[in-house]
């Protein structure tokens, strides 16, 4: 196992632009010229929209110091020729993630475990909830817990407090880990592209109360989950990750719910990982995701 001092720093450059000849070359040739070695590369062209997307993880191919400012200034000169929108991020950057939750703790527990073990390279500056139930769990991890009750009448004031906490934390991402409240139009707009939600995906769909009991009564055979960016349309934002597993007649409602919780945890953590590793491009009402 390598010591931290011996690990060569890596960086991620992501870019998108109108599709034309030379879009891959403008990135890869520049990296070679800067004595960089490409560890991982993904690219995609949406031929219907004539849009090009690329993600490259690279490291220095020598012992020279990496001047991020100088690198960015030089690359911008090339990128301008392609009307390219781009971003450069150190691979070891720890995204600041604010988690919102109500009473169901399975997704929160899973994220906290991955945070605690280093599986997710993140900071969690705050956990926000409309219930007090999970404060002890946050305290055990040494994370500030904000209990902000909400009613129909207090919703605007409560969301203003929530958003203030998000700003004060300088959060890069907000994760709704089974936060059982519908965000307002204003809040959804403020968090566009920066908030991920998780919900079950039962096939066929069952809405309303006790969905797993409804599913059981219909003899459901598939249980799944969907992680997506928050949008003004309830549970219809750009999809990041989906998972599904089979069930059969032997699954009672409580078994279906347990299976659903497991899938929700896996699907949400995958979506968070893709976001913090800059593997997602928002592309209209959908996403381009370069998974591992």
pLDDT 10s digits, 260-283: 999 999 999 999 999 999 999 999
Do residue 162 and residue 40 come from a single domain? no
Indicate whether 9 pLDDT > 90: no
Per-residue confidence (pLDDT) for residue 3, from 0 to 100: 47
Based on the fold, state whether residues 59 and 141 are members of the same structural domain: no
Domain that holds residue 260: 95-289
Q: How confident is the model at residue 210 (pLDDT cuts 50, 70, 90)?
A: confident
How far is it, in rounded angstroms, from Cα 59 to Cα 57? 7
Q: Calculate the average pLDDT of the chain.
A: 93
Confidence of residue 134 (pLDDT cuts 50, 70, 90): very high
186 and 101 together in one domain: yes
State the number of CA atoms in the 13 A half-sphere of 186 facing the CB.
8
Report the first-to-last Cα separation within the chain, whole angstroms. Answer: 22
- Considering the domain architecture, whether residues 82 and 144 belong to the same structural domain is answered as no
Name, of 51-55, 180-184, 197-201, the range with top average pLDDT. 51-55
pLDDT for position 77: 95
- For residue 10, what is the domain's CATH number? 3.30.70.260
Residue that is last in its domain, among 90, 118, 142: 90
Q: Are residues 76 and 106 in the same domain?
A: no
pLDDT at residue 201 tops 90: no
Which pair of structure tokens corresponds to residue 50? 């004539």
Reply yes or no on whether 61 is catalytic.
Answer: no
Asked if the model's pLDDT at residue 168 lies above 90, the reply is yes
Say whether both 106 and 54 belong to one domain: no
Question: Are residues 113 and 230 part of one domain?
Answer: yes
Which residues, at least 6 apart from 68, have a Cβ–Cβ distance to it below 8 Å?
11, 88, 90
Same-domain check for residues 108 and 205 = yes
2 has a pLDDT exceeding 50:
no
pLDDT at 121 over 70: yes
Question: Of the candidates 39, 72, 90, which is a domain's last residue?
Answer: 90
Tell me what pLDDT residue 63 has.
65
Largest CA-CA distance found in the chain, in angstroms, rounded? 65
Residues 119 and 206 in one domain: yes
Least confident of 77-91, 147-161, 196-210: 196-210
* Residue-wise pLDDT tens digits, 73-113: 999 999 999 999 999 999 999 999 999 999 999 999 999 99
Residues 140 and 173 in one domain: yes
Q: How many domains does the chain have?
A: 2
Residue 78 and residue 116 in one domain: no
The CATH number of the domain holding residue 190 is 3.40.50.170
Q: Examine the pLDDT at 4 and tell me if it is beyond 50.
A: no
pLDDT of 256 reads 95
CA distances from 9 to 34, 35, 86, 102, 241 (A): 15, 14, 20, 38, 28
Task: Taking residues 47-71, report their average pLDDT.
Answer: 90
How many Cα neighbours within 13 Å face the side chain of 165?
A: 21
Instruction: Indicate the pTM of the whole model.
Output: 0.93
Same domain, 75 and 114: no
Confidence of residue 233 (pLDDT cuts 50, 70, 90): confident
Set 46, 172, 232, 235: catalytic member: 235
Given 90, 106, 141, the domain boundary residue is: 90
Asked whether residue 1 carries a pLDDT value surpassing 50, the answer given is: no
Tokens encoding 129: 């909830």
Phi, psi (degrees; rounded to nearest 5) at 173 = -150, 145
**pLDDT level of residue 66 (50, 70, 90 thresholds):** confident
């Amino acid at each position: 196992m390598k010591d931290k001092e011996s690990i060569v720093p890596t960086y991620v450059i992501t870019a998108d632009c109108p599709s034309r000849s030379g879009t891959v070359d403008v990135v890869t040739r520049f990296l070679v010229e800067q004595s960089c070695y490409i560890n991982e590369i993904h690219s995609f062209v949406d031929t219907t929209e004539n849009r090009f997307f690329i993600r490259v993880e690279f490291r220095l191919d020598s012992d020279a110091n990496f001047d991020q400012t100088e690198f960015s200034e030089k690359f911008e000169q090339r990128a301008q020729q392609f009307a390219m929108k781009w971003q450069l991020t150190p691979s070891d950057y720890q995204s600041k993630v604010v988690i919102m939750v109500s009473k169901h703790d399975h997704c929160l527990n899973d994220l906290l475990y991955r945070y605690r073990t280093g599986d997710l390279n993140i900071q969690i500056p705050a956990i926000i909830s409309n219930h007090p139930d999970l404060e002890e769990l946050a305290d055990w991890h040494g994370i500030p817990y904000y209990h902000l009750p909400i009613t129909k009448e207090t919703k605007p004031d409560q969301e203003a407090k929530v958003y203030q906490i998000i700003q004060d934390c300088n959060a890069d991402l907000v994760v709704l880990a089974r936060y059982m409240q519908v965000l307002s139009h204003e809040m959804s707009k403020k968090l566009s592209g920066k908030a991920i939600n998780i919900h079950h995906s039962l096939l066929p769909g069952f809405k309303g109360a006790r969905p797993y009991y409804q599913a059981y009564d219909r003899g459901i055979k598939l249980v799944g989950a969907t992680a997506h960016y928050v949008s003004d349309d309830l549970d219809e934002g750009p999809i990041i990750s989906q998972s599904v597993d089979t069930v059969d007649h032997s699954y009672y409602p409580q078994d279906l719910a347990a299976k659903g919780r497991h899938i929700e945890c896996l699907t949400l953590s995958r979506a968070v990982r893709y976001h913090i590793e800059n593997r997602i491009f928002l592309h209209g009402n959908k996403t381009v995701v370069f998974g591992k």
